[in-house]
């Protein structure tokens, strides 16, 4: 059984200006989605190791 729905914590956002990465949970603490440099355009980064494929 897989339980990969509703899993938080591994989503990162990258600032397009300074390329710093901020986890989503950090952004949720802020009143608005914004980088520490003040830039508001952040792109979502998907972790490359999202799933482990089992082979039988």
Binding residue for Zn ion, selected from 18, 30, 33, 41, defined by CB under 5 A = 18
User: 6 vs 38, which CB is nearer to Zn ion?
Assistant: 38
Which one, of 30, 53, 51, 54, lies nearest residue 40 by Cα? 30
Stretch that binds Zn ion, among 3-11, 12-20, 25-33, 43-51 (CB under 5 A): 12-20
Which single residue is written with the structure tokens 């980088």?
35
42 is a site residue for Zn ion (CB under 5 A): no
Neighbours of 40 (CB within 10 A): 12
Binding site for Zn ion (CB under 5 A): 15, 17-18, 35, 37, 39
């Amino acid at each position: 059984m897989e339980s990969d729905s509703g899993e938080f914590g591994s989503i990162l956002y990258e600032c397009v200006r300074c390329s710093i990465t901020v986890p989503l949970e950090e952004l949720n603490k802020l009143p608005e989605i914004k980088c520490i440099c003040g830039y508001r355009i952040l792109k979502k980064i998907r972790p490359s190791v999202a799933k482990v494929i089992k082979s039988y």
